[in-house]
Amino acid sequence: MSAYNEEGVIRAKMDRLLEIAQAYGPATIHVYVDAPSDATASILHRYADRADIVFGQQRMGKTFGMNTLVKRSNSDFILFTDANVESSIDVARELAAPMLADPSIGCTTARLVYSNRKETATANLGALYWGMEEAIKRLESRIMGLIGCDGAMFMMRRALHVSPPPHLIDDLYLSLTILIAKSRIVSVDHVEVFERSATRPAEEGHRKRRIACQAWNVHRALWPQLRRLPATSLYAYISHRPIKWLMPFFVLASMTSLLTAISLKFGSAPALIILAILVGSYLLGACVSVPPFSMFHSAVRSLAGIGIGTIESFALRKTYTTWNPATSVRDQERSRPAP
């Protein structure tokens, strides 16, 4: 686990990791502390006698931290998790079981559930989207294996670990290298983990921007190998990943074509009215928390973030080696009573 500013959750997370390790059997806990500006490091000092805690002196990013920790572990299986993810005590045993039973499986992942969907339209929209994403993953898992997994919590065979470059997102990179190695990733659907999502449209838009940029950077780095995948796996990858990241441009092209067709058929006035309704709905959603306007506003911000992230990756070659967690999530975590 790599941790930055996680003072609101890190004590509960470490206590749970100790319980998970004890329930699993022989296991070690490794944590990289990425030079936080809050009390995360001082809290983690209290666990230095029970876990391998590496305190970074300057911010290097999650991927650098994870690579550092893997080198310090001697385990055959490696469990990766995020600091703000909640799970049951038996999660490590449940994720290890499929790999122990089937050597063709190189990685297992838990099913992520967003726990705060009722708080705002942004959180509700994020939960709805993630529900569809998990449904796609379950289909992939049954048919051919997952095309990538989320970094909330997954376990992989150490023999398949290929250290990602520090500027690339580690969970997608590792997932795709496992796929390239002709090993399978499966979703252990009955194992659920829980995480809070961003509740503000601007934060969710920025998160989507960062993820899209990182995803395209991983795509460019691994495409020479990905393009040699078997036809079914290549189709699954392109249809689930690159096409999804191009969605904002498909939506923009579709709306432009629709408005152009209406203008050519009925004149410019109806097209302008529709455009005014869309713009008005977006602006209204920014001002009031009234569905469907607030959800429409959040959806547009999310799509815009993905589009901007795509442009940043291809046109600017931007990377997100380090980033700050969404404050709307962390503020709520800090407000929880201390365990």
pLDDT 10s digits, 200-210: 999 999 999 99
Structure tokens at 251: 């939506």
In a domain, 47, yes or no: yes
Of 141, 176, 199, which one is at a domain's C-terminal end? Answer: 199
Question: What is the three-state SS of the chain?
Answer: CEECCCCCCHHHHHHHHHHHHHHHCCCCCEEEECCCCCCHHHHHHCCCCCCEEEECCCCCCHHHHHHHHHHHCCCCEEEEEECCCECCCCHHHHHHHHHHHCCCEEEEEEEEEECCCCCCHHHHHHHHHHHHHHHHHHHHHHHCCCCCCCCCEEEEEHHHCCCCCCCCCHHHHHHHHHHHCCCEEEEEEEEEEEECCCCCHHHHHHHHHHHHHHHHHHHHHHHHHHCCCCHHHHHHHHHHCHHHHCHHHHHHHHHHHHHHHHHHHHCHHHHHHHHHHHHHHHHHHHHCCCCCHHHHHHHHHHHHHHHHHHHHHHHHCCCCCCCCCCHHHHHHHHHCCCC
Same domain? 248 vs 150: no
| 108 within some domain | yes
User: Quick one: pLDDT band at residue 338, thresholds 50, 70, 90?
Assistant: very low
Beta strands 2-3 and 77-81, pairing class: unpaired
Last residue of a domain, one of 199, 234, 263: 199
Average pLDDT over residues 82-93: 97
Same domain, 193 and 287: no
Q: What is the CATH number of the domain that holds 161?
A: 3.90.550.60
Residue 43 above 70 pLDDT? yes
Q: Please check whether residues 171 and 261 belong to one and the same domain.
A: no
Residue 335's pLDDT band, with cuts at 50, 70 and 90, is: low
Q: How many Å from the N-terminal Cα to the C-terminal Cα in the chain?
A: 20
Q: Report the pLDDT value the prediction gives residue 261, as an integer from 0 to 100.
A: 98
Q: Are residues 74 and 152 in the same domain?
A: yes
User: Is residue 60 domain-shared with residue 180, that is, in the same domain?
Assistant: yes
Cα dist. 207→83, 97, 174, 212, 339 in Å?
Answer: 17, 33, 20, 9, 29
308: containing domain: 244-320
In a domain, 332, yes or no: no
Taking residues 234-246, report their average pLDDT: 95
Q: Is residue 115 assigned to a domain?
A: yes
Q: For 173-198, write each residue's pLDDT tens digit.
A: 999 999 999 999 999 999 999 999 89
Task: Please tell me the distance from the alpha carbon of residue 50 to that of residue 13, in angstroms, as a whole number.
Answer: 14
CA distance 240 to 219: 13
Res. 243 pLDDT band, cuts 50 70 90:
very high
Banded pLDDT at 339 (limits 50, 70, 90)? very low
In a shared domain, residues 184 and 278: no
Task: Report the chain's mean pLDDT, rounded to a whole number.
Answer: 94
Among residues 169, 199, 229, the one where a domain terminates is 199
Let me know whether 193 and 251 are in one domain. no
Q: Are 190 and 255 in a shared domain?
A: no
Residues with Cβ within 8 Å of residue 159, at least 6 apart in sequence: 76
Share of the chain above pLDDT 90, in %: 87
Question: Does 283 share its domain with 190?
Answer: no
By the 8 A CB rule, do 155 and 96 touch? yes
Radius of gyration of the chain (CA): 21
Same domain (yes/no): 190, 250? no
Residue 326 lies in a domain: no
Structural domain count, the chain = 2
In a domain, 337, yes or no: no
Residue 334 banded pLDDT, cuts 50, 70, 90: low
| Same domain, residue pair 173 and 278 | no
Residue 227 lies in a domain: no
Tell me: the pLDDT tens digits for 279-303?
Answer: 999 999 999 889 899 999 999 999 9
Q: What is the pTM of this model?
A: 0.92
Residues 91 and 148 both lie in one domain = yes
- Residue 329 has a pLDDT of 75
**Residue 143, in any domain of the structure:** yes
